[in-house]
Structure 1
Amino acid sequence: MKKLIMPLFLLMVSCSMNDKEESIIEKENDFDVEVELVKIEESRSAFQLAIKEGRPGDLKNYGIDVIASDPDCGPWAEFKELRRNPKGKFNYDSLVMRPRETVIVSDSIAYDFGTSSTYYTNEQGEPVEIIATFLAIMKKDKRDGVWKLHREVGNTRDLE
């Protein structure tokens, strides 16, 4: 009888541990990637709309501790200077993001990689389009469940 107690005890403990592992896996499977991809697209669209409608005050609603590194050479130099010091008829008209891939890394981190076009009116009143490639890291806000920009790196290459 004493010889059976130890194997039975080990069997009970190991079965108990497997139950915990299965429940963790089930919990992770509750995360619906397709639903989250739709939420990311909704956030991206709302961000672009805020720019297009000239609502710069609303842009803070689409980011969490944002740090961005945009291009600052070539055609981007004029845009960045005018954005810092608006002159003449300058206006930041719109931003169109064309992600090539959106990857959800976890239930709270995702990234977009793609190309964007920034449209603005220069100080002479002429429309200008500048293109960039971007990598944007997004975090899901714990307070409202909305995906928001956290980090972004852009360069002057056009992937298209």
Structure 2
Amino acid sequence: MDILICRLLYPNDPTNTLKPHQHFVGLFSEEELILYSISSVLGKEKRVFALDGSINPEYFIIGKTDMKALSLRVPSFIDCSVSFHIKLNSSVDITTLSNRSIPYSVRERIENQIIRLKERGNHRQHSISLADFLKWNKKCKKRFQP
């Protein structure tokens, strides 16, 4: 699982919008989930590109070459400087949420960009409570049988 579609209320989003969103899965284990937001470039060009045409170094750009490999319809970007961390337990089954895999070569390039930003000290991690995550993504809450 490399891309996960789930709902999050982002602590750094002033609009407080809760809707399904695609995320790059930085880490997934029985104990934790680390996500990075995938956003369309459209409408965010000034944020993604500087006036000289250079790319914001915090972003991994998903252009024409990688769009098909990631099953995206439009040019997009991953903000590699901000992650969202959820501590998991046995009450959740993340695999019930829509997800897909991407080629290892693309995953490796994204991970390398995240590592570079962490090494430079340019990375923030926000914690999302499991209770909130389950409230927003009811589909992944396990139903225990007595």
TM-score scaled by structure 2?
Answer: 0.23
Larger strand share, 1 or 2:
1
Say which structure is richer in helix. Answer: 1
Between structure 1 and structure 2, the one with the greater Rg is 1
Q: Normalising to structure 1: TM-score of the pair? A: 0.22
Larger RCO, structure (CA 8 Å, separation 6 or more): 2
